[in-house]
Amino acid sequence: MTVSTPSLSASRRIAGAHDIASQPPFAVRRKAFRALHERGCFVIPNPWDVGSARYLQHLGFPALATTSAGFAFSQGLPDSGDDAVISRDRTLGYISSITAAVDLPVSADFLSGYGRQPEDVAESVTRCVTTGVAGLSIEDATGDLASPMYELSVAVERVGAARRAIDRSGEDVLLTARAECYHVGHPDPFRESVRRLQAYAAAGADVLFAPGPQTPTEIKALVEAVAPKPLNVLVVRDIGLSVPEIAALGVRRISVGGALALAAWTGFMRAAQTLMSEGSFAGLARLVPYAEINGLFAADLPGHQRQTL
């Protein structure tokens, strides 16, 4: 395989991971991100750290999205929107590290917006925009098992507050609104998702997202329910549908959430368990060669020459 130097220099990535001013114009990324939603279908994978982000860019994906679960696991923490578990500042630092590491548009998994009240969501969104994201998503889950979703009127107000915060920033950041009906076990998740997504579209969401549907019938029905606005579909396991087949249903964007992070954890855990329980190194068979990964990341160092691995 051939590794060449990407357009973003290593000096910026290494010395200024959070130095947004040193980055190429984010307006270019934001324009490209909006264009991706206007026709066709694209996969937006979810890196959990700088290394995984840079590798996904290397593969040629057109955009990336952060993953709250993948990041939380990398920190030895559970996936949570509770500020006491993973603070807003910590999440913003992670998002900034990804936008600084790649040249691609990045959309932020921003959970429930780090605030219960609309004005709190607006403040959080304003801060998220400054990380250089091309998009961000806001959920309607409360994190409260007794009342797992915001009442629709409140949820709409929160989406509207996020919309106004983005508009005030003057940046062309796409707002994705998520209906968590399937995830929280709503008794009629499809109908409630349609009701909520249509309300969020009217409140100013650019992209609609209801994680959970896995069948062609439900996916296509959701696409039609929110049209002409684009629908994001989450695929975290093999559902028997390929990217072209999902695209044929009218889906504009496919994300994988924490699934790639889980794939990495699966390989690590199985290899470690085999080593501990059996004293066997069988879990280390068929590893990606050290030189391949090392060469990929070395390619960004100043003065590094193009090399073939």
Q: Phi and psi (nearest 5°) for 208?
A: -115, 150
**What is the rounded distance in angstroms from the CA atom of residue 48 to the CA atom of residue 167?**
28
pLDDT of the residue at 24: 55
User: What is the C-alpha R_g of the chain?
Assistant: 20
Render pLDDT for 137-192 as a digit per residue (tens, 0 to 9): 999 999 999 999 999 999 999 999 999 999 999 999 999 999 999 999 999 999 99
Render pLDDT for 59-72 as a digit per residue (tens, 0 to 9): 999 999 999 999 99
Q: Round the average pLDDT of the chain to a whole number and report it.
A: 91
Please, are residues 66 and 109 in contact by the beta-carbon 8 Å criterion?
yes
pLDDT of the residue at 2: 32
pLDDT of the residue at 291: 97
**Lowest mean pLDDT across 11-15, 251-255, 286-290:** 11-15
Neighbours of 13 (CB within 10 A): 20
* 3-class SS string, the chain: CEECCCCCCHHHHHHCCCCHHHCCCHHHHHHHHHHHCCCCCEEECCCCCHHHHHHHHHHCCCCEECCHHHHHHHCCCCCCCCCCCCCHHHHHHHHHHHHHHCCCCEEEECCCCCCCCHHHHHHHHHHHHCCCCCEEEEECECCCCCCCECCHHHHHHHHHHHHHHHHHHCCCCEEEEECCCCCCCCCCHHHHHHHHHHHHHHCCCCEEECCCCCCHHHHHHHHHHHCCCCEEEECCCCCCCCHHHHHHCCCCEEECCCHHHHHHHHHHHHHHHHHHHHCCCHHHCCCCCHHHHHHHHHCCCCCCCCEEC
Q: Give, to the nearest 10 degrees, the angle between helix 259-278 and helix 50-59.
A: 120
pLDDT of the residue at 201: 98
pLDDT of the residue at 39: 95
Render pLDDT for 101-140 as a digit per residue (tens, 0 to 9): 999 999 999 999 999 999 999 999 999 999 999 999 999 9
Cα of first residue to Cα of last residue in the chain, in angstroms, is 6
Render pLDDT for 219-234 as a digit per residue (tens, 0 to 9): 999 999 999 999 999 9
